[in-house]
Amino acid sequence: DSSRRRILPPGPSGIPILGNLLQLPALRPHPKLCEWASQYGEILYVKLGGQDVIVLNTAEAADELLSRRSHNYSSRAMPHVAHDLLRDGLGITFMGYGTSWRALRKALQVALGPGPSKNLRPMQEYESRVMLYDLMRHGDNSVVRDCGINAHGEVTDSHWYAPVRRYATSVTLFAIYGKRTNRFQNNPNLHLIYDVVDNFSRMSQPGNYLADVFPFLRHFPDILAPWRVKARKFHLREKGLWEGLVEECKTVMQDGEDRGGFVNSYLRARAKAGQENAPGRGLTEGDWMQDKFLAFAAGSVLEAGSDTTAMTIATFVLYMLNHPQVLQKAREEIDAVVGTERMPDWDDEERLPYFVACIKETMRHRPLVPLGIPHATMEDDFYKGYHIPKGCMVIGNIWAMHRDSERFYNPTAFIPERFYEEGKPTRWGTGPISQERDHYSFGWGRRFCQGSHIAEASLFITLSRLLWGLDFSAPLDPKTQRPILPDIANEEATWSEGFVSIPNPYKVRFAPRSAKHAELICDEFEAVQAEWRRMRLDVDER
Ligand code: HEM
């Protein structure tokens, strides 16, 4: 097939059968892909087992193919183990382009779209008070007492990540199911969600399972296919979790309670359309999602929205600790606009352009999903004379694009000023026109992150309040008196493996910036308990 090989984009030569599989570290592929990008240019081809993979390394190429030619580039190369087996093909993240995905995406837009996502803001505001209070209470616990990291390097409930994760999960739970999670310590429901999400992230890593890249292995009997046995077992665990959450919504509906949240309104609308009972895993006539589809789809959105948000918060804190002058400048801006009599609020956003630029620069410098979620083509295509085969996995190399020195002056430096113009509100990174966007951390085209508006609102409200209310610092090394702070540039030591790359747990001490700040943080936490009662939601337990 040498003629075909000639017209494919350039790339490293591989070996028979495995292709480039052994050259690409499955759990941390982006540094290698960037090395290849600088060698082969804007578009490169690799072969992972039987899977064709095209990597787009410039914003121009990604804008052209993933956005402008979105009609062809919006499918997914579904990971067999994590999608077909673990999720029975029903999670949104890896669902192929087609009727089911379209029905789900359309239904979700009613909850997550730019307009409807504003309805979630009161909840984000309330929950952010709880997060701020929790971090204040955390104080220097993870520094002087229990460090919050177990023997396997995983965070426990006493690490400061726990209240941040609770915030993000609670907001997403509310958006999807109309309920919240009211404590982060010893909460088995929350742990189950984290376990499921963590497991999915590991099992879906491209190149992790040979059965993902060699379709013939999928016909092996169970005895020779341990991955299938494992995925089936985990499927049952997920099924129990996701279906349980939907069952709860059904019970609430039958009791006549008008609960908010995507699943509740969907079930009500479906019942109105005469489809109250819709067992099955597909679409009904009229394209309503049946029960199992709805359960897994909703769960996959909970997953897409929770840890992504929480770990972007953790990334921001790490960047601020590493750039004290930036932190000081952002804080001065917040202090000048907000003062000490109240917390930052939504209306302040326009007057905090530097602070918003700091969030954007964090997302540019350290995109949480460095290679995005790979798209896939539905038809053969050509780009600048190169053949892009049908069914090809297409990776938008966000990491490389964010480090493009033609687009970003001194790209490896953290410079929020690049997005900042004094006196002018900073626009967010989202929006359909990708050429006008300043970063690609939310992906492209029809597959663009559907929760980006919710994500940005969460980042704004939690982080503005954190900077406003709490001092935070890294512990000092007792010998050198220097801060013990992870080095952002040290890929392996500081950042996790996995296609979502998060900061490995690190220690921070938090303290109120003044007695007045502390008092307000406590008062607002108390006041929000009354809101929970009014909304018939669980009050916080600490
Ligand atoms: C800072 C936080 C977040 C980041 C960095 C992020 C990033 C991403 C990325 C890179 C994609 C893939 C885009 C593509 O295929 O081109 C994605 C998809 C998605 N995100 Fe987010 N996300 C975040 C928060 C959220 C939130 C809060 C929600 C929902 C409440 C959400 C819901 C989704 C959904 C449903 C998809 C799948 C879209 C599809 O496959 O059709 N995300 N996200």
How confident is the model over 362-390, as pLDDT tens digits?
Answer: 999 999 999 999 999 999 999 999 999 99
The amino acid at residue 419 is F
Quick one: pLDDT band at residue 213, thresholds 50, 70, 90?
Answer: confident
pLDDT value at residue 432: 62
Place 6 in a pLDDT band, splitting at 50, 70 and 90.
low
Question: Which atom of ligand 1 is found nearest the CA of 108?
Answer: 35
Pocket test for ligand 1, best of 308, 371, 394, 440 (most atoms within 8 A of CB): 308
- When pLDDT is cut at 50, 70 and 90, the band that residue 1 belongs to is very low
398 lines ligand 1 (CB under 6 A): no
* Segment 88-115 mean pLDDT: 95
Lowest mean pLDDT of 19-23, 203-207, 262-266, name the range. 203-207
Report helix, strand or coil for 381: strand
- pLDDT per position as a tens digit, 123-136: 999 999 999 999 99
Asked if residue 395 has its Cβ within 6 Å of ligand 1, the reply is no
Q: Is the CB of 369 under 6 A from ligand 1?
A: yes
Q: What are phi and psi of 473, to 5 degrees?
A: -150, 160
DSSP percent split of the chain into helix, strand, coil, nearest 5:
55, 10, 40
pLDDT at 84 > cutoff 50: yes
78 pocket-lining for ligand 1 (C-beta < 6 Å) = no
For the Cβ of 360 lying below 6 angstroms from any atom of ligand 1, the answer is no
pLDDT for 448? 95
* Residue 452 CA to ligand 1 centre (angstroms): 7
Report the separation in Å between the CA atom of 192 and the middle of ligand 1, taken as the mean of its atom positions. Answer: 21
Rounded Cα gap, residues 449 and 441, in angstroms: 9
For the question of an ipTM over 0.85, the answer is yes
**pLDDT of 17 over the 50 cut:** yes
User: What is the H or E stretch that residue 199 is in?
Assistant: helix 188-203
**Long-range contacts of residues 346-351, Cβ cutoff 8 Å, at least 24 apart:** 346/121, 346/125, 346/457, 346/460, 346/461, 348/464, 349/425, 349/460, 350/425, 351/425
Residue 456 near residue 429, CB atoms below 8 Å: yes
What letter represents residue 162's amino acid?
A: A
Take atom 11 of ligand 1 and give the residue whose Cα is closest: 449
* Distance from Cα 239 to the centre of ligand 1, integer Å: 22
Please name the amino acid found at residue 501.
Answer: S
Assign residue 88 a region (left: φ > 0; alpha: ψ between -120 and 50; beta: otherwise): left
User: Exposure of 375 by Cβ count < 10 A (0-12 exposed, 13-18 middle, 19+ buried)?
Assistant: buried
Q: Which atom of ligand 1 is nearest to the CA of 396?
A: 16
Rounded to the nearest whole angstrom, what is the distance from the C-alpha of residue 472 to the centroid of ligand 1?
Answer: 29
According to DSSP, residue 379 is labeled S
**What is d(CA 323, CA 303) in angstroms, rounded to the nearest whole number?**
31
Structure tokens at 90: 């029903």
Tokens representing 492?
């392996």
**Residue 151 burial (10 A CB sphere; 0-12, 13-18, 19+):** exposed
CA of 508 to the centre of ligand 1 (A): 28
State whether the beta carbon of 441 lies less than 6 angstroms from ligand 1: yes
| Residue bearing the CA closest to ligand 1, atom 7 | 442
Tell me, in angstroms, the distance from the centre of ligand 1 to residue 73's CA. Answer: 17
Query: Quick one: which H or E segment has residue 265?
Result: helix 262-272
Q: Are 117 and 123 in contact (CB under 8 A)?
A: no
Cβ–ligand 1 contact at 449 (below 6 Å): yes
Q: CB of 304 closer than 6 A to ligand 1?
A: yes
Helices (H) and strands (E) in the chain, counts: 19, 8
* pLDDT classification of 453: cutoffs 50, 70, 90: very high
pLDDT band at 25 (very low <50, low <70, confident <90, very high): confident
The mean pLDDT value for 82-101 works out to 94
CA of 495 to the centre of ligand 1 (A): 20
- The span from the CA of 396 to the CA of 400, in Å, is 9
Residue ID of nearest Cα to ligand 1 atom 43: 449
**pLDDT above 90: percentage of residues in the chain:** 79
Task: Give the residues across from 472 on adjacent strands.
Answer: 510
CA of 422 relative to ligand 1 center, distance in Å: 31
Nearest to 117 by CA among 166, 197, 164, 176: 176
Amino acid (1-letter code) at residue 406? E
Across the chain, what does the average pLDDT equal? 93
CB of 105 shorter than 6 A to ligand 1: yes
Cβ 444 under 6 angstroms from ligand 1: yes
- Cα of 450 to ligand 1 centre, how many Å? 6
User: Taking phi first (over 0 means left), then psi (-120 to 50 degrees means alpha), and beta for anything else, what does residue 372 get?
Assistant: left
Strand extents, DSSP E, 357-437: 375-376, 381-383, 386-388, 393-396
> pLDDT at position 209, please?
86
> Among 55, 174, 177, 442, which residue has the most ligand 1 atoms within 8 Å of its CB, making it the best to mutate?
442
Provide mean pLDDT across the span 274-302.
95
Measured in Å, residue 382 CA sits from the centre of ligand 1 at: 28
The band of 2, judged by pLDDT with boundaries at 50, 70 and 90, is: very low
Residue 309 CB less than 6 A away from ligand 1: yes
DSSP-derived pairing of the beta strands 375-376 and 51-56: unpaired
Q: Which amino acid is at 379?
A: E
474 lines ligand 1 (CB under 6 A): no
Nearest atom in ligand 1 to 101's CA = 41
Distance 417 CA to ligand 1 centre (A): 26
Give the Cα-Cα-Cα angle 145, 149, 154 (nearest 5 degrees): 165
Is residue 356 a contact partner of residue 363, using CB atoms and an 8 Å limit? no
